Structure 1
């Protein structure tokens, strides 16, 4: 007997579940025309090569030309990425993505001289140029970012060669994502009654991992990790290539370490980086171990395995919700943020920003892409489970952030440091949880909301934080010259997991393969920033609850500022000081209080 969930081809999914990709380009032909036109325009920037030192007006004209190229390039690249994300098995989508990457590399090569020539200018020349051409101040943020790289810049010719190899540099991530979406397939699995279930990355991570049925949860896990094992050597080689590229690049540029290089681009110090991870890893572990033991007791499990950690604590209470009902709930929860913000959320929910279909070849997980000049795009798989409301609210937080920043800032000043990029998204989740708790009318619903809130903290303070701790170990090993084999990666991941969970969780070798499941490892030191963002939103959501509009105004002003400030200063503008460990410890204590509430509920 087959379960009723059958994966469809992309063209078979309902149109109302898909995003309006036509808002970027009306069709593939329009994309091709834009692609060809930009290829013809890219050489225009060459007119300024070797001349930026001549005058302020030459520099200004070059930056204006580059800005126009960038504004044309972004929708072209985004369209290709989004089409591939919705169906990685489509050969046309694969080819288009390849063309887009090549175009990006062509652009990067063409404009590489801009950074090199600005870096070569003296501070006096830069100051004089700003005085001569005040319009240069509209490019102050990108110019200052370039000057920050001055101590680590290579000779101009070397920078141009590296830019020309941009597509090659991105190959590890491309190979990983292509393999994951188009090559890795899973056999069906059975429960204890012989019922057969189809399996995919999306079905496992969005459905079966949360199943209330122990046999479904564990059998899905066994089948899932069995397939991952088949690819572990290939994925280890791919990841090792990515890490070696970063280590070698850091040494060529003269950084003290690869960690210093990756944090430099985030405008974050090593002290801030280690403080974030060490505080949570040390202080949160006892609370999470209590949480695991509580689950084991309530669910009546003889052993608490890695496959069980996301099992619902109240298995008889699994609220379902339609997309429209979830949208209404989110809008109600965000009313506290004011009409401007809520109107953006309404557009996101109802105007074709969201792709929620489930089809063969669709990328797993969820993301928000926010191309400059148009609206954001949110990808997720809607399964009618209430927890999806938190995922949707999270991605809408990203959308609201960049919709506001795109309106207020120029294209080169929109994106802030990744250190705080998850603060606006998790803020939406915090406000949603508060709203649901306030309107919960029965004990079971209130308990479900607490569990969902714990799910948010688990995602950011456990899953991604442990990814970050694992990454730190990976870079330490790579700096010593050791090859990252699958055996080594498995050992490192296992040690990080066991160090956090202690004896509260029984780990098997399949848990060690968790490093194969996320593309985050190919994105520098990105995973730990999830916890930084949630730390900030925990603090400010409390301020919004107690102070009201002044706190909201601070937060919105931070969103609109885009990338015009350093991340620590930007978050101060938003209402929280992340230069100390106190907000981190405060957030961890809050998680502990949620576990306390659950223990009382089940006593």
Structure 2
């Protein structure tokens, strides 16, 4: 494992595009800290005039952008090496500043809601600058029944820092403190398990390597089962508290309302997946047969069903594959991809202490960034396509929307990224003439359905059940969480799968559970992306035009209305059902290939 300073500069992102130096961060921090007192002159005075309301919203926007800059720079520097105390402090200070700003600006929404409708209409007519905040007003007024008095809003805002401990503790445990043991690789050489290489180990043809990696990784989480259960439960209680404080019937209702998503969307997803659960059972049966094993175990889920020559794909090759696969999106899209590849938008390789996984993030007005832990597998190529989908979604939204409307909701966030993956896999399938390679790619596409649609739906069920239990006054112990998780695995994977006891602890290592009711959106996003990619590949010009309007839409419409631009209606179960029919077709093809 290389240390951060051993990674070539060309393979790291250039955060100087956000701020030129740490000194610039310090300077901006002190400047913003001083500016926070400016909220005082607006408090209690928004009803005075249209000019006062506009000035306050403009001031709040400017402060928000500065805090975003501070936080993103500090957090991304910290993610380069999570053990670096300096950047831990930068990140923590920026977060604290954001909590202070939230407290000082907490009067804003109650005062806007308190304005008589005719007064707000008159202000909008009188001050042209308020047109910039039309969508902001629409969202605020939707929350009227869930907005408290100014003093209570201030108290809730101040409480956020005190209640963020569960997420912070898990992040430090999972990224900075936890150490996994060494296991013998296929050549008998010791290899230490890391977040970055775990899936690569699970893809090894050598079953003993997979079994050892699986048992070793979950053995560590099991050791900390009680601690992680307490951390998880604390975060669930936090969600329940804020939902109750804002007069929502549940944490789920609160979370979905924040994204303007009807709760029926969540229910439609689970219902459609349950209706199509036989397809996943068929997948398990095919996998068992293809691997030629008497018992299929959880550590057999990631290895390709079809043995293929294990080859490393260089990052240069990965970029070329992505560019070729995304040609249907047009030359402008490809030129933006090249710009990102050539101008250090991407932090490519794993290093000691680097945050696990992958993401795209950035600051409004600056190009987006992508964090990878690239390891040369086909999965890593798809991760590159996925994260660049996020990045260009942000690029288009930022270029076409104001700061207040650019930040698209989480519900649509996974659509562009997954659409890129769907286009890439279909390109690879269409261009291969080798039966064995085709089987390998069909296997990969099937695994995307299993891992993104089914697995995330199972996560969504786990979240819904555990949050409901806390709302009912139940105590979430490690034993109870493991029982729930075991039962869900039995239902999802069916009779041909051995549910190993180690998998019962998988709940304890999922970072997204600390953003409640996030994961279901991977499944809905995947379903929408499969539908959109089919339209793009069919040459549906109306859908392609609508797709770029969607990419450019930011938060200018509700997520459901944005997806309707692409001809996809996520308020119904149809996109999920249609995606599952594609999965059924892949299963049929795989039967004929193995």
Identify the residue that residue 258 of structure 1 maps to in structure 2.
251
TM-score (structure 2 length as normaliser):
0.97
Contact 2:288 2:295 in 1 (8 A): yes
1:183 aligns with 2:177: yes
Q: Aligned-pair distance for 1:146?
A: 1.5
Query: Structure 1's 193 and 68: CA in aligned 2 closer, same or farther, altered over 3 A?
Result: closer
Q: Aligned-pair distance for 1:472?
A: 0.9
Secondary structure in structure 1 of the residue aligned to 2:196: helix
Higher mean C-alpha deviation, range 443-452 or range 241-250 = 443-452
Identify the residue that residue 262 of structure 2 maps to in structure 1.
269
Identify the residue that residue 88 of structure 1 maps to in structure 2.
82
Contact 2:359 2:370 in 1 (8 A): yes
Matches within 5 A, 1:407-556: 407-556=399-548
Q: Distance in 2 between matches of 1:301 and 1:278?
A: 32
Q: Aligned-pair distance for 1:589?
A: 0.6
Could you report, residue by residue, the CA deviation over 1:228-265 in whole angstroms, capped at 9, with x for unpaired residues?
Answer: 11122111111111111111222222112222111111
Q: Aligned-pair distance for 1:192?
A: 7.4
Secondary structure in structure 1 of the residue aligned to 2:495: helix
Identify the residue that residue 4 of structure 1 maps to in structure 2.
none
Query: Structure 1's 186 and 422: CA in aligned 2 closer, same or farther, altered over 3 A?
Result: same
Q: Distance in 1 between matches of 2:483 and 2:445?
A: 31
> Which runs of no fewer than 5 residues in structure 1 stay unpaired?
1-6
Query: Structure 1's 84 and 128: CA in aligned 2 closer, same or farther, altered over 3 A?
Result: same
Could you report, residue by residue, the CA deviation over 1:515-563 in whole angstroms, capped at 9, with x for unpaired residues?
Answer: 1122111112110011111111111111112234332111000111111
Q: Distance in 2 between matches of 1:271 and 1:496?
A: 21
Secondary structure in structure 1 of the residue aligned to 2:360: strand
Contact 1:191 1:219 in 2 (8 A): no
Secondary structure in structure 1 of the residue aligned to 2:485: helix
Q: Aligned-pair distance for 1:193?
A: 6.4
1:201 aligns with 2:186: no
Q: Distance in 2 between matches of 1:137 and 1:77?
A: 28
**2:240 aligned to which of 247, 268, 276:** 247
Identify the residue that residue 398 of structure 1 maps to in structure 2.
390
**2:564 aligned to which of 572, 584, 587:** 572
1:103 aligns with 2:124: no
Q: Distance in 2 between matches of 1:343 and 1:281?
A: 42
Q: Distance in 1 between matches of 2:59 and 2:194?
A: 45
Q: Aligned-pair distance for 1:191?
A: 4.8
Q: Aligned-pair distance for 1:424?
A: 0.7
Secondary structure in structure 1 of the residue aligned to 2:293: coil
Secondary structure in structure 1 of the residue aligned to 2:501: coil
1:133 aligns with 2:127: yes
Contact 2:295 2:496 in 1 (8 A): no
Q: Distance in 2 between matches of 1:380 and 1:158?
A: 41
Could you report, residue by residue, the CA deviation over 1:308-356 in whole angstroms, capped at 9, with x for unpaired residues?
Answer: 1111112233343111111111112212112222222112222111111
Secondary structure in structure 2 of the residue aligned to 1:510: helix
**2:22 aligned to which of 12, 28, 38:** 28
1:162 aligns with 2:127: no
Contact 1:429 1:456 in 2 (8 A): no
Could you report, residue by residue, the CA deviation over 1:256-296 in whole angstroms, capped at 9, with x for unpaired residues?
Answer: 2222111111211121110012212331x222222222222
Contact 1:31 1:76 in 2 (8 A): yes
Secondary structure in structure 1 of the residue aligned to 2:568: coil
Contact 2:197 2:375 in 1 (8 A): no
**1:355 aligned to which of 347, 364, 381:** 347
Count of residue correspondences: 594
**1:587 aligned to which of 538, 561, 579:** 579
Higher mean C-alpha deviation, range 400-409 or range 94-103 = 94-103
Contact 1:108 1:166 in 2 (8 A): no
**1:309 aligned to which of 294, 301, 306:** 301
Higher mean C-alpha deviation, range 330-339 or range 60-69 = 330-339
Identify the residue that residue 226 of structure 1 maps to in structure 2.
219
**1:281 aligned to which of 268, 274, 292:** 274
Q: Distance in 2 between matches of 1:108 and 1:68?
A: 14
Could you report, residue by residue, the CA deviation over 1:354-399 in whole angstroms, capped at 9, with x for unpaired residues?
Answer: 1112111111111111321101111111111122111110011100
TM-score (structure 1 length as normaliser):
0.96
Matches within 5 A, 1:64-75: 64-75=58-69
Q: RMSD between aligned alpha carbons?
A: 1.5
Structure 1 stretches of at least 4 aligned residues deviating more than 6 Å after TM superposition: none
Q: Aligned-pair distance for 1:17?
A: 1.7
> Which runs of no fewer than 5 residues in structure 2 stay unpaired?
none
**1:56 aligned to which of 28, 47, 50:** 50
Identify the residue that residue 3 of structure 1 maps to in structure 2.
none
Identify the residue that residue 589 of structure 2 maps to in structure 1.
597
Identify the residue that residue 363 of structure 2 maps to in structure 1.
371
Contact 1:296 1:303 in 2 (8 A): yes
Contact 1:401 1:424 in 2 (8 A): yes
Q: Distance in 1 between matches of 2:476 and 2:135?
A: 37
